[in-house]
Amino acid sequence: MTQRRDFKGVGIIGTGSYVPEKVITNFDLEKIVETSDEWIRARTGIKERRILDTDKGSSFMAIEAAKKALENAKISPEDIDMIIVATVTPDMMFPSTACLVQESLKCKNAAAFDLEAACSGFLYGLSVAYSFVSSGIYKNILLIGADALSRITDWTDRNTCVLFGDGAGAAIISEVPEGKGVLGLDLGADGEGKNLLKLVAGGSLMPATEKTVKNRLHYIYMEGNEVFKFAVRKMEEISLKIIEKSKLKLEDIDYLVPHQANMRIIESARKKLKLAENKVYVNLEDYGNMSSASIPVALDEAVRKNKIKDNDVILLIGFGGGLTWGAMVIRWYSKGRF
């Protein structure tokens, strides 16, 4: 354990992302299930999604995203003190996907573990990383959100198969100058909603058997209407809560990077925050819902396209199975990164 240091702030000093090359469009799905491009676009805003090759796992995407984040932050693998991978689709139950990343990148000085909070995973991980750096225990933490939801998607269920895609996003969390970095954070959960979005089989309660496979219990189950209502309510509620908690006003928010689940949910939050359309980053139509990868991929793209600039106040917000939710306000620091 290192000694606590006097430092000025904790923020993100590098980002990276990776999405697979293979694309499945809405027109491709029309050939698989009873649906249409018009129906999918109208209800979700999704046009296509990326699908990982069958001979690769989530660790492959995580490693590729992490390489870009390290390069962006201008630090070496040896400088990483901890690796956190947020995922619901690990390569295997153990060792953790984070350990696979550590070995591949040769982050020989890093502790490593996985974290599971579904689509809220990246924000939960960001909060954990913030705590380790702000306490002075570690200096540089590599956080990755990586999910291959195509592996647990029932491609015969037209209500869910249109929603999900694969990808990974990464961020390096470290010290930043005074006034920059995390201004406020908030996490939450409601276990009473555990049955609204779940994957039933494959754990210790219901291990894989011939029966669980036959009954298609190893795929995502979601009560779409209830999850939609929960998401709209929570996006608005926690947006206002975290802004107040950060001692800010609505007009102080320069940019919103939300979880990319449904365009109607994003639009509802944007209007509640009174933000112009060009102040919200959306890549939903190209990738669908990538779970824990959703926010970090969007964040990396927004930064690299210069949508987010030094000193901008950005709001990261998401929700997921559990039910879980999280939000963080960050004053962006980007000096010398591009």
User: Which positions are annotated as active-site residues?
Assistant: 119, 259, 289
Q: Are 172 and 14 in contact (CB under 8 A)?
A: yes
Strand, helix or coil for residue 218? coil
* Residue-level length of the chain: 338
The whole-angstrom separation of Cα 305 and Cα 140 is 25
The whole-angstrom separation of Cα 150 and Cα 287 is 12
Strand, helix or coil for residue 77? helix
Cα 18 from chain centre: 12
Strand, helix or coil for residue 326? strand
Which amino acid, residue 273? Answer: L
Q: Cα-Cα-Cα-Cα dihedral of 24, 26, 27, 30, to 10°?
A: 110
Distances (CA, A) of 112 to 76, 152, 248, 335: 16, 24, 34, 29
